[in-house]
Structure 1
């Protein structure tokens, strides 16, 4: 019989923090650890199966996917070794952002997309917010030093940026699931602030570790240093050491398995500095060259994204397009993207969406047949707003743009057909529409929470129905004209349905539903449901029995 041991139980109250080993099984304290081991084994087995498919050529490698979509400008390290590493081993990758502003902007999205792709393929993803390095400011590519930020502004930016990144990750997980990448328990991500470790770093330790690796000749030969010294306002010692601080970030993360750093095209020099530091500080056991190579650090830079006209992507009239909706509204973000040039839109679809390349190619073929419809641009705009702000926001924003262009019924139907996971198109059975009052139809269409809520909307003038105008009434034949549902009777709706089986309902400014009315039999055959449908069937069956 085993002797008593002691386990700390997280589920017990503070006054009873321990439980003896004989009670462990009864309280189920081992179960969570057993489940964790089983889950870990399942994840490892699944990873090995996917790796075998990749090695057999039945599945594209992650690096191949990134290359085909245009994410890779330069690699720091051997390409084949990185390809093998990403296939064989679940590793960590990171990209960093300094809180020089309270929000991410569109330019940040490109390196983050690489991180998102790595995450949904099972690698650990780390977003670093440079709470410490922001005090210095990255001089890369700058001739004029960044204006010093006061402590309160920096702290405020740090909190806002953290919330922005956290919200982005939540939205990305939902977006990935809609594109066939359901969240896996083995996926791992974190948001970290480098002031946690850099703030504790002793200056002597820093100089003895990082300072001895950095060679003055190489550092003085960097373009950033030469250009800022010769053409700019000079370079401070703090700016000069920025690459070493970034390198130390990576060294800290590398010790927990983060082998890949992702950055913009201008970050290649800083990434190489990190690789040099890691190789200098890593113990060198007598292992095979291949093992040593696969355990080392790698860097990946994304291309500098410019438009076909040479302008920097993510800027509108010189201003950044922010990913915080309080700084750049979803409507403005959608509008910026829908104005993308024909020469740019295919590349943007590959870079800023999870859409399969085959789908993008098909959309581009349709777009090239009639570029005036800007079908590819609208798809890009919807997908990016979906990625950043969520599906509902994307649908509402698309509706705003649609109705700002005074559409007709045909254009609405076409957009509904072309929109993936369209929320504003639905079917209703004839029995829930024919002869029913507008308030009840609003409820059945999901535009009102109940019949009484629908009645309130109608009486307050907040609900509308669209009808096509005649050629005499509008410059564009068939243009939709909305009228208030207040005063509209069931007979008026029945009369409208004699002309078309499609109703266009709206509540508020932009919440639109395109309702196609079909027979009850077809509705049931499609396996569909709607608010109030089950209650209607029960009443119908009861009356017939």
Structure 2
């Protein structure tokens, strides 16, 4: 038996120069570092270009956008200085939520929307979850102290709220891209738990840092303290120090470049406490040179939202509207928003969507022409469900509301047109519908993965076609009645198409497609495509050659 050879055959390619593993790692790190520097330079160049446009008046500043949309109630700090800061450099901003419940509710969304706008405009966004401060409870605006929460409930809330905030950020990035803000590599966000730093804070250090700044006269003069002591159940020392703990949060974040705190209108006093602490601690010798060079802290509060009737926004019959779908379903969220008063809906569209103001104005003009259609309310409901739960959930929820009202073809078409990029309206060429079996039409319409999948849906009774219950001439007048596609032949569909070129197909309870059938030539002229269209054209061309 021939022994193994240690010589490379001449027929093989010559050996590449040997490079040791450590060198490979160093080379890889060097390339990675070079790529990072190049990316950072590109981001800086892009930022400078946008800043120049803003200074030249060719582009609105971020603060101007926030003001025009109604986000700004009060600013802590000079308005022009903040406007310049947001234009000139990328900074950090944060808003916080204590885990007093397992989910965000609709009331939390307003300060978060400011954070989302800052994020898509290139600033670092930080969501703080108050794992430590929740143990005390913010007394702001309360006469009765929060009931003490047991450790297990608090821990469970912390995990659930973190997942809710993380899911919200993912949904916001998708929503922003749909509205013309594709994700940029320079965007930066994080979710942090303040127990990480407050849990390590020594009581002596806390008192020497934050305690020496707080003056008793100012703290006792706050409305929250006076009202709770005079009209409520008194104020504990822990509650009294809550603003200082929130201030310490900001000091911790400020040292990493977070210069803006965003909060509700009731948080102005707590925000000012943070500004005072930062200004007191910044000059200390132990503060880093980078922190000392920052231009200072700024606060922004959003307005307290009430409905035209004076009720607090985000509450339904006294109950919170949650953003966790297991606590408030998308259907309930949609229903709550679609019931918004005419006097409120324009303001809500500006605050809770990324829709351009021009688009909102156009929708309001249509709405005012016929308020009974509630076009603005349906747009608001769809956009917010899209923002919170995603586009597919928004479409399904809209369909649920539509079909809970026994719709007609006219209402379906109106809602499809009202959706900016509707998932439930499409065109199909005549050749993919005329004379075709229902299963194949389902495939071409994107309701089935394949012809065999469509056959399975039809045979199992899970696919339907809508037809008018009225014999009126106007095809859009009568209510739609859905019948199973099982037993429906291609000739029946052809007869239906003689009355209208629009087919209404449905799979399951709510997955609906409005299919407008057009000529093959028009379909190609529009540059459209559909499942199976390319294969059909190839077969057609082959048979004609």
Normalization by structure 1: what TM-score?
Answer: 0.94
Task: List per-residue Cα deviations over 1:441-479 (Å, max 9, x = no partner).
Answer: 111111111111111111111110001122599999411
> Do the aligned partners of residues 445 and 170 (structure 1) sit closer, same or farther apart at CA in structure 2, a change above 3 Å counting?
same
> Do the aligned partners of residues 133 and 9 (structure 1) sit closer, same or farther apart at CA in structure 2, a change above 3 Å counting?
farther
Task: List per-residue Cα deviations over 1:172-224 (Å, max 9, x = no partner).
Answer: 00000110111000000000000000001111111100010011111111111
Kept after mapping to 1: 8 A contact 2:396/2:511? yes
Q: Secondary structure at the match of 1:19?
A: coil
Answer with 406-415 or 301-310: which moved more: 406-415
> Do the aligned partners of residues 506 and 79 (structure 1) sit closer, same or farther apart at CA in structure 2, a change above 3 Å counting?
same
Structure 2: gaps of 5 or more residues: none
Q: Secondary structure at the match of 1:294?
A: coil
Task: List per-residue Cα deviations over 1:465-509 (Å, max 9, x = no partner).
Answer: 001122599999411111110110000000100111110000111
CA distance in structure 2 between the partners assigned to 1:210 and 1:7 by the alignment: 74
Task: List per-residue Cα deviations over 1:83-131 (Å, max 9, x = no partner).
Answer: 0000001000000000000000000000000000000000000000000
Kept after mapping to 1: 8 A contact 2:260/2:298? yes
Structure 1: gaps of 5 or more residues: none
Q: Secondary structure at the match of 1:6?
A: coil
Aligned length: 545
> Do the aligned partners of residues 330 and 377 (structure 1) sit closer, same or farther apart at CA in structure 2, a change above 3 Å counting?
same
CA distance in structure 2 between the partners assigned to 1:10 and 1:375 by the alignment: 78
Answer with 21-30 or 403-412: which moved more: 21-30
Kept after mapping to 2: 8 A contact 1:95/1:263? yes
- Aligned Cα root-mean-square deviation (Å): 6.2
Task: List per-residue Cα deviations over 1:41-88 (Å, max 9, x = no partner).
Answer: 011111111111111111100000000000000000000100000000
Kept after mapping to 2: 8 A contact 1:469/1:477? no
Answer with 191-200 or 462-471: which moved more: 462-471
> Do the aligned partners of residues 17 and 92 (structure 1) sit closer, same or farther apart at CA in structure 2, a change above 3 Å counting?
farther
Kept after mapping to 1: 8 A contact 2:282/2:291? no
CA distance in structure 2 between the partners assigned to 1:354 and 1:432 by the alignment: 37
> Do the aligned partners of residues 452 and 291 (structure 1) sit closer, same or farther apart at CA in structure 2, a change above 3 Å counting?
closer
Which residue of structure 2 lines up, in the alignment, with residue 481 of structure 1?
A: 481
Q: Secondary structure at the match of 2:381?
A: helix
Answer with 511-520 or 6-15: which moved more: 6-15
> Do the aligned partners of residues 33 and 26 (structure 1) sit closer, same or farther apart at CA in structure 2, a change above 3 Å counting?
closer
Which residue of structure 2 lines up, in the alignment, with residue 527 of structure 1?
A: 527
Which residue of structure 1 lines up, in the alignment, with residue 395 of structure 2?
A: 395
Q: Secondary structure at the match of 1:441?
A: helix
Task: List per-residue Cα deviations over 1:1-27 (Å, max 9, x = no partner).
Answer: 999999999999999999979834895
Task: List per-residue Cα deviations over 1:385-416 (Å, max 9, x = no partner).
Answer: 00000000001111111111111111111111
Q: Secondary structure at the match of 1:104?
A: coil
Task: List per-residue Cα deviations over 1:120-173 (Å, max 9, x = no partner).
Answer: 000000000000000000000000000110111000000000000000000000
Kept after mapping to 2: 8 A contact 1:5/1:20? no
CA distance in structure 1 between the partners assigned to 2:132 and 2:154 by the alignment: 10
Kept after mapping to 1: 8 A contact 2:138/2:242? yes
Task: List per-residue Cα deviations over 1:288-324 (Å, max 9, x = no partner).
Answer: 9999896100000000000011000000000000000
> Do the aligned partners of residues 41 and 285 (structure 1) sit closer, same or farther apart at CA in structure 2, a change above 3 Å counting?
farther
Q: Secondary structure at the match of 2:19?
A: strand
Answer with 366-375 or 26-35: which moved more: 26-35
Normalization by structure 2: what TM-score?
Answer: 0.94
> Do the aligned partners of residues 285 and 62 (structure 1) sit closer, same or farther apart at CA in structure 2, a change above 3 Å counting?
farther
Which residue of structure 2 lines up, in the alignment, with residue 55 of structure 1?
A: 55
> Do the aligned partners of residues 6 and 19 (structure 1) sit closer, same or farther apart at CA in structure 2, a change above 3 Å counting?
farther
Kept after mapping to 2: 8 A contact 1:466/1:480? yes
> Do the aligned partners of residues 2 and 250 (structure 1) sit closer, same or farther apart at CA in structure 2, a change above 3 Å counting?
farther
